[in-house]
Structure formats: structure tokens, C-alpha cells
Amino acid sequence: MVGAGGESVLETTWSQVLAWRLRRCLLDPVGQPGVAEIVRRLCGVQAQVPAAAALAVGVRQADPVAGAVDEALRAGEVMRTWAVRGTLHLLTPDEAGAYLALMAAGRVWEKGSWVRSFGVTPDEMVELTEAVAAVLDDQVLTREQLVTAVGERLGRADLEAELRSGWGAVLKPVAWQGVLCHGPAEGNRVTFARPDQLLPTWKGLPEPDDAAQVVIPAYLGTYGPATIDRFDAWLTRGRSTKGQLRGWFAAVADRLVTVDVEGTAAYLLADDVDDLADTPPAAADDVRLLPAFDQYLLGPGTTATEIVDAERRPEISRAGGWIAPVVVAGGRAVGVWEVGDDKTPTEVRLFDDASVDGIDGKGPELDDAVERMCTVLAAVSS
């Protein structure tokens, strides 16, 4: 996974890498990609907060349309399920199985820490998974209906109580095994379905080594260059075994090279080396607002100091897993902002060491970025 003679095939800078990632993340330039294209390129869009997912799509479209994500879900172009890092994501059905297969490979639900936290043994998880598959056969159920049906089928009032108290965490492994995903919403109520019955393009779960040949190139093609540890932090928060990771990267070794980014050795797809080398460095006056939980940050992670200064991380990665909306200049996070009650950007606050003009008419760059976000907010919220 290196160049000839074991040397890196390219020496580059973080500024050049960030410019390349902005383009690969469909942020520069902004075009008119569809929802599925955006979801595929970003290796999923985090959807714990539906409004944030809609903004993540809208900010990548020159002319965002209200309800685009909901329409893509209804059409089966994308699906919503628990995926990387155990969080809800939008994924394309034809590739979702690969992401889920790598999540399931760790079998975290069989570990003692999982059993102690959630009170469900590995044998009970097998029973639960089989019961979910059975009760969802040819039907879509609400959360309450699913919990009731599973409890009745198993004849386990105690397990039903566990599902009601911590059901989200307990059902994640069921989703990772491809047995369950979110179905069409019923008003404000979540529903669940079997992906093999809900989604015509669902392909099931491949073997992990085969899944790695889908997921690793997709990740590096958008968020590279990256180390193995960074990939694992994005995928499982560092919970994959070293042996698994080595095996997965070995499965795609013939497609990877090593590049040097200001002294850091990282992997990149060989096909992308020339494209990265030809990318001009990110311009400091290239300013944009990104929504909460945006994949531009979540792909590399908020610990990626090339994007987020370590001392600023607490202002972005907040309590309760909240990832704040950010102001980005030259590819780096230089401030934060909030969405006001009137669906406009409010409290735009640059970090003290930021060198971006634009607040209160001091310069055009930030003002233009705020105006652009106003347009996106108005479009997706209408």
C-alpha cells in the first residue's frame, strides 16, 4: 500500500487535501446532485436529526427542494437505519449491506460490556433477531407494535420490558444484521420494516472482506487521505479489532497508495493521486456555513485537527453527542452558528483566532455564506 521502494507517492499539504475534500463532499462547486447521489458520495448522511439530514442534502444543491429526502425515502432511493458508529444514517439500499456487514463483524452484542449494559445475552439476541424477522414478515409496524409483537411471540415479559426501556440500543444489532430498518413514517411515529421486503434494490449483507472492497474505497474517495485508525474511528469509534482492520485493508491493498501529508503517512486510492496533486490549496476567503452533523466534519471526525483545532473541539462536539453547525473557511472550522426560530442563521460567532471578515458588513465572504444558508434553510423548511 505504498509507492515504489516503500516511499509515499505524493507529498501534499492539508490545505490541498481540504480543498480536495470540499470538492469530493460536493461542496465546491455546488451543483444539483440528487439525494441518492449525495448519500452515496458521503458514505451515508447522519439522520438522527431529520432536519439536519435535510440541510446536509440541501447545502449541496444549487436549488434545494423541500421534502427531497422524504421523497427519496418513499421512492426507496435511500433508506434510514442504524449504521456507522451506531447512529441513524441515510444510505443507498444497494450499498447499505456493505456498511452494515462491517458493523456486524465486530459482534459487539456478544461482549460482556454490552450484556452488562443492556441485560440481553447473546442467546437472547439470537431469539430477538429471529422474532423481529418473523413479526415484520410482510408488514410494517410502529415502534409500539413491534415491541408488543416481539414480546408476545417470545412470551417474555421481561424482555419486552427491556425493549421498552432501552429498545433502540438493543435493536441496533438487529439492524446491523440486515433484519430491520426504518419504514415509512406515520406522521410523527417511526415505523420499522424488513429491508429485503421494503427496498427493491436491497442486496443483503456481503462477507466482511467483500464489504470492505465497497466501503474503504468509498470512504477514502471522499475523506482521504486517511489512516486505518481514522477509518475505524469513523466506522465503529475504534471498536474493530486490529486483525479485522488489517484484513479489510489487505482486501483492497492493490488499489491503495501511501501519501505524505505534512509528515503524516495516510492511504489514498491510487486512482485519486493525480486529482489530489492537481487540486489548488483551499483559499482562506472560501467561506461557507455547514449544518449540524455535517458529513464534512463527521467523515474525518471532530478530532481531525486539520479541520478542527483541538482547543475548539468542545465548542463543536458538544454534550449529548450534538455536533454544532460550523463556519468553514479554507476548509477549516473557524466558527459556529445556530438556526433561529425564524429559520435563519443566528448567533454567527467566529472563533477569536479566525481571520474571516463579513459580520456586520465588514466584508463580503461571510455575508455571502450567511445569505446562501438563508436560501437553503428557506427552501428545505418550506
Q: Report how far residue 13's alpha carbon sits from residue 37's, in angstroms, rounded to the nearest whole number.
A: 28
What is the pLDDT, as a whole number, of residue 73?
Answer: 97
Question: In this structure, is residue 170 part of a structural domain?
Answer: yes
pLDDT for the residue 343: 85
Average pLDDT, integer, range 14-23: 98
CA distance linking residue 348 with residue 326, whole number of Å: 9
CA–CA separation, 234 and 241 (whole Å) = 14
* Nearest 10 degrees: Cα torsion 323, 325, 327, 329: 50
Instruction: Tell me if the bond preceding 225 is cis, omega within 30° of 0.
Output: yes
Instruction: Grade residue 358 by pLDDT with cuts at 50, 70 and 90.
Output: very low
**The predicted structure's pLDDT at residue 157:** 72
pLDDT band at 227 (very low <50, low <70, confident <90, very high): very high
Tell me the per-residue pLDDT of 274-293, one tens digit each, with 9 for 90 and over.
999 999 999 988 999 999 99
User: Band of the pLDDT at 119, cuts 50, 70, 90?
Assistant: confident
Q: Which residue has the higher pLDDT, 95 or 185?
A: 95
Q: What is the pLDDT of residues 33-76, one digit of tens each?
A: 999 999 999 999 999 999 999 999 999 999 999 999 999 999 99
d(CA 364, CA 381): 25
pLDDT of residue 261: 98
Q: Is residue 1 in a domain?
A: no
Is residue 147, in this structure, part of any structural domain at all? Answer: yes
- What confidence score (pLDDT) does residue 38 get? 98
Do residues 331 and 21 make contact, with C-beta atoms less than 8 angstroms apart?
yes
Q: What is the pLDDT of residue 7?
A: 73
Residue type, 89: H
- pLDDT, mean of residues 200-229: 97
Whole-structure pTM value: 0.95
Segment 186-193 shows an average pLDDT of: 90
Which is more confident, 346 or 16? Answer: 16
Provide the number of structural domains found in the chain.
1
- The answer to whether position 145 is within a domain reads yes
Given a cut of 50, whether residue 327 has pLDDT beyond it is yes
Question: What pLDDT sits at residue 167?
Answer: 65
Per-residue model confidence (pLDDT) at position 355: 60
Per-residue pLDDT for 338 more than 50? yes
Please list, in sequence order, all residues whose beta carbon lies within 8 angstroms of the beta carbon of residue 268, skipping any fewer than 6 positions away: 10, 220, 224, 225, 256, 257, 258, 259, 276
| Residue-number span of the structural domain to which 188 is assigned | 107-200
Average pLDDT, the chain: 92
Extract the runs of DSSP E, i.e. beta strands, from 276-376.
287-290, 326-329, 332-339, 345-350
Asked whether residue 160 carries a pLDDT value surpassing 80, the answer given is: no
Tell whether 243 is covered by a domain: no
Q: What is the pLDDT of residue 363?
A: 60
Residue 173 belongs to a domain: yes
Tell me what the mean pLDDT of segment 113-126 comes to. Answer: 90
Q: What is the CATH number of the domain that holds 186?
A: 1.20.120.1790
Give pLDDT, residue 187.
84
> For residue 361, is pLDDT > 50?
no
State the DSSP string of 192-215: EE-HHHH-TT---PPPHHHHHHHH
User: Is the residue at 148 inside a domain?
Assistant: yes
